[in-house]
Amino acid sequence: MSDLDDLRAATRAFLSAQVSVRSQLHDDPALWKRLTTELGLMSLPAEGVPFAWACAVLEETGRVLLRAPYLSSVVAATALQQLGDTPHLAGLADGSVTAALALDGRLDQVVDAAGASLLLLADGDDLTVVEDFTATPLEPLDPTRPQARVEARPGRVIGTAHHARDLLHVALAAESVGAAQRVLELTVEHLLVREQFGRPLGSFQALRHRIADLTVAVEAATSSAWYAARATDDLPVAAPLAKAVAADAFVQVAGDSIQLHGGIGFTWEHNAHLYFKRAWTTALMHGDSRSLRRLAFQRAGR
Amino acid sequence: MTFREQVRTWLAAHLVGEFAPLVGTGGPGREHEHVGLRTAWEQELGRGGWIGLGWPTEVGGRGASIEDQVAFHEEYAQAGGPARIGHIGEQLAGPTLIAFGSQEQQDRFLPGILAGTELWCQGYSEPGAGSDLAAVRTRAVLQDDGWHVTGQKVWTSLAHLADWCFVIARTEDGSERHRGLSFLLVPMDQPGIEVRPIVQLTGTSEFNEVFFDDALTGADNVVGARGDGWRVAMGLLAFERGISTLGQQVGFTREYDEVLELARRNGTFPDFEDQLVDAWAGLQVLKHQALRTLDSDAAASTGVEANVNKLLWAPWHQQLGELAMAVAGPAALLVDRELTPLQNLFLFTRSDTIYGGSNEVQRNVIAERRWKLPRDRP
C-alpha cells in the first residue's frame, strides 16, 4: 500500500461512514469541518504532494456526490500555491477559508460561491483573486452542487488563467470518474438482485452487454483522468481531454443507470437521478466536451 | 545507454542493407509481403537477443521489465520494423510452454522460438467452434506410435509457414465441452496435414484452413495433463497485459496521420473535423488506457484489462477505416491493381472486432468476470 492508497482508503472509509448521497441535498458545515480538520484533506496542496493526491480524494468525493466546496477550494489552493500567492493559503489549508472558481469568466452561475470568502476569476487571459464579492444563491437542477449569481469588484491579477482551468478540468475528471464508477456499481447491484421472468436481470445478455459497454467507458475515463492527474508538460492537452472523456462517460453511465433501474430509477426516492443531474452539471459547465476535445487537438498541434 | 537507446541503435544498424526492403511491410492485409526475408529477419532478431524479452532468464529470455518491453515495441514500430512472423511462437506458444510445459518440452521448443528458426501457428477455431471454442470436434487418439489427430481448424494465421501448430483436440472418449480436451503440439510438415488458404474479403489471403487427416505427433507432445487442455488454453489469457499495445498504437498513429493529411489535402477537413478530432481523442485514450494498465502503481487489477482494451481499440480502428473512406470519397471505391493502404485499413478492420474473441464474447467476459453477472444459460 502506498501513501496514496492509504489516503484513498481513509477518505473512502470516512465518507462511506459519515455521508449518504441523500444527505448531500443540504449544506453541512460540520462535515466540512471534519473533512478539513480530522482528515486534513485541504492541507494537501500546502504539503507539496502531487495534484494526483487531491484527485484521488476527488474520486472518493465524487462517489458520494459530496456537497462541500472541496473541488473548488482544492483547485484554488493548488493554483495559488503554484503561483506563490500566499495570503489565503493557510486559511484554505485548515478549511476556514473556502474558494469559488469562475475560470470561464462567467459570474451568472458560480458553483460553491455562497459561503466562499475567495473567488478565483478569469478576466480574459488573466487569473484574478477577488475578495470583495456577493453571491446570491440560485435554485439548481442538481441539488448536490450549489450555484450562485455573483457580483464582484475587480480583483488582483496573479497569473494566467489557463493553468488554473487545466487543474479544474483534471479535478472534474477525477470527480466524474469516482461518481461514474459508483453509479455503475449501484446499477450492477440492482441487476444482480432484481428478478423478472424468474431470473435476475443481470442474466439477460442485452443488459450484460450494456454493463460491459459502460465498464469500458468508465475504464477509459479512469485512464484519461489518471493520466491527466500525473501529466506535467502534457497537462494543457491532457486536462481538457480528460474532462471531456470523463464527463461523457459519466453522462452515459448515469443516463443508462436510470434505464437499467427501470421504474424505480425514475423516482425521486432513488439516487440515480442525483448522479444523472450531477453528470449533466459537470458536462455543461466549464466547457462542453466537443469544444474541449477540439481545444486539446489544437494544443497538441494537430 | 538506456534500454530504449540500445533498441534504437540496434534497429538502425540492422534494419538496413538486405533487410531495408522490409521497412513498413507485413501486417494485416500484407502478410504475403517478403515472407522469406521476414523469416530471415526473425532470425536476425533472435541473434540480437530481441525475442523473448519478457521471458524469464531461466528459460533463455531477457527478463526485461514491462517498461523496457514497451520501449522495444515502441521503437520497433517507430523504426518501421516489419510485422513479426514469429509472434505466435513468442507471444502464445512460448509463454504457454513456460507456464504449463514440461522441462523437456521447454528445452525442445523454446530455443527454436528464441532463435526465430521455428515458426508456430494456433489451432483453436474450427468451422463449428468459433466463439464457442469448447465445441471443438478435432479428435486425437493415443496409439503406440503417438497421437493421431483428425479434424479441421480455420482462421489459422501463418499456417502455410509454420513448423508447428498447437492444437486443441478432444482426447477423452465420451467427454463434453471443456472437459476432456488436450493441448497438443503437432509438426506441420507431414502427409496428414493439408493447408488451404482462405481468400478473405480483401481478395488476399493470410488465414488458412488446416485439415488433419490422421496426422501424427509424439506421445509426449501434450502440454499439461492429458484432458486438461482447456485450462492450458485459457491460462494464456491471464498473462496477456497488452505490452505490445503501445507499439500497436504507433502504427495506429501513423494510419491516423495519413487520414488527417488526406483530409487536409483534399479539402474535406472542415466537413469531417468533428470525426477527426474524436478519432484523435480516442487514440489518446488508448494510450492512457495502456499506460494505466501497465503501471504497477495504478489501481488494483480488475482482471478484464485485456477485454476492455480490445473493446476500446478494435471499434476505434474500425471507425478509423470508415472515416478514411469517407474522407477519400467515391474515389476510394476504385481499385488500381491492388488495394491502397487506406482501403486495406477499411476492409481489414472488419476482422478486428471478430478475431481473438469477438466483441460480443469480450462483453460477456467482462459481465461475468468483473461483475459476476450470471450467465444467461447454465
Calpha distance A218→A224 (Å, rounded): 10
Nearest CA among B188, B234, B251 for reference residue B215 = B188
The mean pLDDT value for A271-276 works out to 97
How much of chain A exceeds pLDDT 90, in percent?
A: 96
Select which of B75, B126, B209, B240 is catalytic: B240
Looking at residue B245, its pLDDT comes to 77
Which residues in chain B are contacts of A198 at CB distance < 8 A? Answer: none
B67 and B143 housed in the same domain? no
The distance in angstroms from the start CA to the end CA of chain B is 56
Q: Is residue B232 part of a domain?
A: no
B223 and B244 housed in the same domain? no
Nearest CA among B131, B307, B120 for reference residue B223 = B120
Looking at residue B258, its pLDDT comes to 95
Strands A118-123 and A99-102: parallel
B153 and B223 housed in the same domain? yes
Q: Is residue B249 part of a domain?
A: yes
DSSP, res B93: I
Q: At what angle do helices A289-299 and A235-261 cross, to 10 degrees?
A: 150
Looking at residue B28, its pLDDT comes to 75
Contacts of B83 (CB under 8 A, 6+ apart): B25, B26, B27, B30, B31, B38
Whether B371 and A200 lie within 8 Å, measured CB to CB: no
pLDDT digits (tens, 9 = 90+) for B44-85: 999 999 999 999 999 999 999 888 998 998 899 889 999 999
Looking at residue B237, its pLDDT comes to 64
Whether B371 and A204 lie within 8 Å, measured CB to CB: no
Ranges of chain B with pLDDT below 70: 237-242, 296-300, 377-378
Calpha distance B224→B139 (Å, rounded): 17
Looking at residue A215, its pLDDT comes to 98
The mean pLDDT value for A93-118 works out to 97
Q: Is residue B316 part of a domain?
A: yes
Q: Which of B172, B205, B227 is the last residue of a domain?
A: B227
A53 grid coordinates? 493526491
B190 and B296 housed in the same domain? no
| B236 min Cα distance to partner chain A (Å) | 22
Q: Which of B227, B259, B287 is the last residue of a domain?
A: B227
Cα dihedral across residues A276, A278, A280, A282: positive or negative: negative
Calpha distance A142→A97 (Å, rounded): 24
Is 0.90 surpassed by the pTM of this model?
A: yes
Reading phi first (left if > 0) and then psi (alpha if -120 to 50, else beta), residue B214 is in left
Calpha distance B53→B114 (Å, rounded): 9
B111 grid coordinates? 530455443
Q: Which residues of B83-109 are buried (b: 16+ CB within 10 A; e: fewer)?
A: bbbbbbbbbbbbbbbbebbeeebbebb
Whether B364 and A205 lie within 8 Å, measured CB to CB: yes
| A40 min Cα distance to partner chain B (Å) | 23
pLDDT digits (tens, 9 = 90+) for A219-246: 999 999 999 999 999 999 999 999 999 9
Interface ipTM above 0.90: yes
More confident residue, A295 or B65: A295
Which amino acid, one-letter code, is at B84? R
Q: Is residue B233 part of a domain?
A: no
Which residues in chain A are contacts of B375 at CB distance < 8 A? Answer: 203
Looking at residue B265, its pLDDT comes to 98
B212 and B247 housed in the same domain? no
Strands B139-143 and B146-153: antiparallel
B354 grid coordinates? 471478430
Q: Is A163-299 assigned to CATH 1.20.140.10?
A: yes
Whether A219 and B289 lie within 8 Å, measured CB to CB: yes
The mean pLDDT value for A55-76 works out to 98
- Residue boundaries of the structural domains of chain A: 163-299
Total number of domains constituting chain B = 3
Interface test with A, best of B246, B288, B360 (most A CBs within 10 A): B288
B223 and B246 housed in the same domain? no
Greatest extent of chain A over all pairs of C-alpha atoms, in Å: 66
Domain range holding B17?
3-85
Q: Alpha-carbon dihedral of residues A28, A33, A38, A43, nearest 10 degrees?
A: 120
Q: Is residue B79 exposed (0-12), middle (13-18) or buried (19+ Cβ within 10 Å)? A: middle
B256 and B322 housed in the same domain? yes
Whether the CB-CB separation of B83 and B41 falls below 8 Å is answered with no
DSSP, res A254: H
Q: Is residue B109 part of a domain?
A: no
How much of chain B exceeds pLDDT 70, in percent?
A: 96
| A136 min Cα distance to partner chain B (Å) | 38
Q: Is residue B132 part of a domain?
A: yes
